[in-house]
Structure 1
Amino acid sequence: MQSLLDVNKSSPRASDGVWPMQRSALLDWLMIETREQRFIDNILVEMCEKLEAAGIPVARASLHFRIQHPQWRGARLLWRKGLTETEIRTFEYGSEQTAEYLNSPINDIVSGANEVRQRLEVIDANAPKYQLYDQLRAEGLTDYVAWPLDHTLGKRHVVTFSTDRRGGFDDEHIAALSDLMPALALVSEIRLKNRFARTLLETYVGPHASEQILAGATTRGSGVTVGAAILICDLRDFTGISDAWPRDNVIELLNGYFDAMSEPIEKYGGEILKFMGDGLLAIFPLSNATACTDLLHAISEAQLAMTALNAEHVREGRKPLGYGIGVHVGDVMYGNIGSRKRLDFTVIGPAVNIASRLETLTKQVHRPVLLSKAFVDLAGVECELENLGSHLLRGLDEPIDVFAFSGDCLNVGQIPA
């Protein structure tokens, strides 16, 4: 089957009126029919398939985005002919200073170039010696072009196309691909900003709360009552540390402490709702049948991580960090509270207050982790706990039974990752 835009003289060319019809159909698809597609990587795959069907010999295409993410500086989406999905690669902060990036066509475009074009079949002594070109030749590709995708507010990203066609792209192929750039820039910006909105919410309120907010829970008082195991954690003597230590050291200490506590919580399905100075509030919804045991496993791994962190502090001549964790279970209101213009998506209720009081009690009984009897009964903890008896917590009329927990009794090292 002949290509619609093949250079063979017997084939129709863009100037013959074939591509204008294909162009109109492809632009209509890109601007209108992709409305229900959330992910730009899926759009890239389908666009390349449609380009192939229209006679544009694309064998490889990539999108390079600078993204706003707490962990990643950028991302690359790569499609190759025959693939039904893109390969997604993320790049850490600082990657833009590496030789791989600085010596690349992508850097040229981001730095202001409006096009980078390189025919790969003939090695041009005057062309830039980019390692990428050698990789493309090794894949059997014959031509490469990169263009900017200019988004609003001066944000510039990059799209590239390569072919394995003998002779590379012809002028009509390049013109056809170039025709799509304004529409692709608009479509990609919408998806990138949608992803950024989700990332922003997930970063600051957590994945579950972010889904609630995106689904419309944005009015004061909106929320639901849920059953949850509640964990409240606090760092000991933070005021003294922050007064005595340089600011950057304090920030580094807090980040290490929060990593030790947070990563196990997220690993076992907990949701961190907020960081409160040197403390955190997390819930494990009881809609998950293993919520209580998941919480205990998270605490156990967090204790191991804190032990490792404290060993490092001791090696550096610092005092080990102390902490307190209070755990309770019960119904909480999960939703928005605050002023008319400034809301906080969190949990409130008596069960949260009890978890907080238990965390405070850790200072008096000198045990780092305290569990309420209500939590212990629901969790069905099989390992032996230290029964500390009944304690009257502030704000409660009746004392509650309290247990001290140590991760050692779970044999946490044997828990599957």
Structure 2
Amino acid sequence: MNITEVQKLIDWLIDGGRSATSPSRFMAECCERMVAAGLPLWRVGVFVRTLHPEIYGRSFIWKPGAEVEVGAVEYKILDSPDFHSSPLYIVFQQGLEVRARADDRQSNRFPIVDELRAEGITDYIALPLFFTDGSVHASSWTTKQPGGFTDEQMAALHGLITPLSRVIEIINWRRMAASLLDTYVGNRAGERILGGQIRRGHTETMNAAIWLSDLRGFTSLSDRVPAETVVDVLNNYFDCQVAAIRNHGGEVLKYMGDGLLAVFPIDEYVGDEQQVCSNVLEAAHESRASVADLQYPIGDAVERFRFGVALHVGRILYGNIGGGNRLDFTCIGPAVNLAARLEKIASQLGRTVVASEGFAGICRGGWSDLGEFPVAGFSKAARVYGLVDEKSAA
């Protein structure tokens, strides 16, 4: 072992590994420095749990001369027999170190050892990564060196694991913060918040297409079925829209009971409002088809659902609004208000998709003029358009 290089590596970790510009680059540079210090590493894995509604944890796998493989593991791994028979399970559950030499027959209780032995690996060690909040994460280290890791190499690895854990924890918290913001306020809003836009009144104007939708008959549904069923129905119903919205460049800003507010920024597309509005309309078509196909068994009946969505385009104020230290990152403005009024008109007309004159004028074709309607709070009546291929259900 090169003690000087080991100390340089420890100093680099204490300094935060700042020369690495990304988690993958940090993993690669750290392992390369370890090899330069005399650790004969072959395959290194780091496994961290995260706060995410769908993902249990993330993995980072390094091998010499290859790109770091980044993966995500869903919660179903907790029920997987392979996970329960893995050394990592012991690390996560008990916070214990697990070592498995290829020539140690007791190691055969771990199926992964057979796989590693076939690759020529002679030694495997799983080490816990203890975070300051008390949580336990995991790492795995392998070598092809004859006889496995020496005592000196193991001592060096144990000496590196604590400063390594601190840096990994910082990286994980940053990723977790971004993931939580993405989950609860949306990607663009999350990026702005992490970028420092956290003061009340910190807003900006943005030209955007606006989507405001509502589930028909929600009040009646809530009155006649258990609350748990209502939540499940809403989740299935929102699934019919969110994927289409995100796949076509939109961002969901808010859920309001059975209502959904989303925006499709136009300024970010160099003013190509026609393309953005076409994307919005395509998302509306997809959502309409998905909701129409949605079936939910309630009692002895199978419930079918209808919804309405209003599409508009205009300038909005986008940013932090609220009271005291409780803020909401949302959008407001006359354009949002008009979209909300149009959605109510869609309900009155029994229409699924309606658009303002401004939206229909940009995204031409396929619209029928439904007439002018008085709009609460606005001095002028609004001309409303509906899809030609849709008949009123009123």
Residue 228 to residue 253, structure 1, CA distance change in 2 (3 Å): same
Deviation at 1:38, TM superposition (A): 5.5
CA contact (8 A) 1:225 1:333 kept: yes
From 296, 301, 314, the counterpart of 2:286: 301
The 2-side partners of 1:166 and 1:128 are apart by 19
Corresponding residue of 1:242: 222
Residue 406 to residue 123, structure 1, CA distance change in 2 (3 Å): farther
The 1-side partners of 2:299 and 2:293 are apart by 11
Q: Which amino acid in structure 1 is aligned with residue 331 of structure 2? A: V
From 79, 91, 98, the counterpart of 1:97: 79
Does the residue aligned with 2:162 lie in a helix, a strand or coil?
Answer: helix
2:278 is the alignment partner of 1:278 = no
CA contact (8 A) 2:288 2:352 kept: no
Deviation at 1:316, TM superposition (A): 7.2
From 48, 54, 76, the counterpart of 2:59: 76
Does the residue aligned with 1:127 lie in a helix, a strand or coil?
Answer: helix
Deviation at 1:397, TM superposition (A): 1.4
Mapping 1:221-370, distance limit 5 Å: 221-287=201-267, 288=269, 289=272, 290-310=275-295, 317-370=301-354
Corresponding residue of 1:46: 29
From 96, 112, 134, the counterpart of 2:114: 134
Deviation at 1:91, TM superposition (A): 1.4
Does the residue aligned with 1:51 lie in a helix, a strand or coil?
Answer: helix
Deviation at 1:35, TM superposition (A): 2.7
The 1-side partners of 2:348 and 2:130 are apart by 59
Unaligned segments of structure 2, at least 5 residues: none
Q: TM-score, normalised by structure 2?
A: 0.94
From 358, 363, 370, the counterpart of 1:388: 370
Q: TM-score, normalised by structure 1?
A: 0.89
User: Which deviates further from its counterpart, 36-45 or 244-253?
Assistant: 36-45
Unaligned segments of structure 1, at least 5 residues: 6-18, 409-417
Post-superposition CA distance 1:89-146 (Å, at most 9, x none): 21111311211111110011112243111111x141x335111111111222111011
Deviation at 1:27, TM superposition (A): 0.9
Number of aligned positions between the proteins = 385
Q: Which amino acid in structure 1 is aligned with residue 38 of structure 2? A: G
Does the residue aligned with 2:294 lie in a helix, a strand or coil?
Answer: helix
Does the residue aligned with 1:94 lie in a helix, a strand or coil?
Answer: helix
Q: Which amino acid in structure 2 is aligned with residue 302 of structure 1? A: S
Bigger fraction of residues in strand:
2
From 50, 64, 68, the counterpart of 1:67: 50
Does the residue aligned with 1:318 lie in a helix, a strand or coil?
Answer: strand
Deviation at 1:369, TM superposition (A): 1.0
Residue 214 to residue 202, structure 1, CA distance change in 2 (3 Å): same
Deviation at 1:326, TM superposition (A): 1.0
The 2-side partners of 1:307 and 1:145 are apart by 53
Deviation at 1:378, TM superposition (A): 2.0
Does the residue aligned with 2:304 lie in a helix, a strand or coil?
Answer: coil
Corresponding residue of 1:24: 7
Does the residue aligned with 1:57 lie in a helix, a strand or coil?
Answer: coil
2:144 is the alignment partner of 1:161 = no
The 1-side partners of 2:36 and 2:10 are apart by 14
Corresponding residue of 2:161: 181
The 1-side partners of 2:324 and 2:175 are apart by 27
The 2-side partners of 1:215 and 1:150 are apart by 29
Corresponding residue of 1:414: none
Q: Which amino acid in structure 1 is aligned with residue 78 of structure 2? A: E
Identity percentage of aligned residues: 37
Deviation at 1:367, TM superposition (A): 0.8
The 2-side partners of 1:156 and 1:49 are apart by 25
CA contact (8 A) 1:75 1:90 kept: yes
The 1-side partners of 2:276 and 2:201 are apart by 26
Q: Which amino acid in structure 1 is aligned with residue 301 of structure 2? A: G
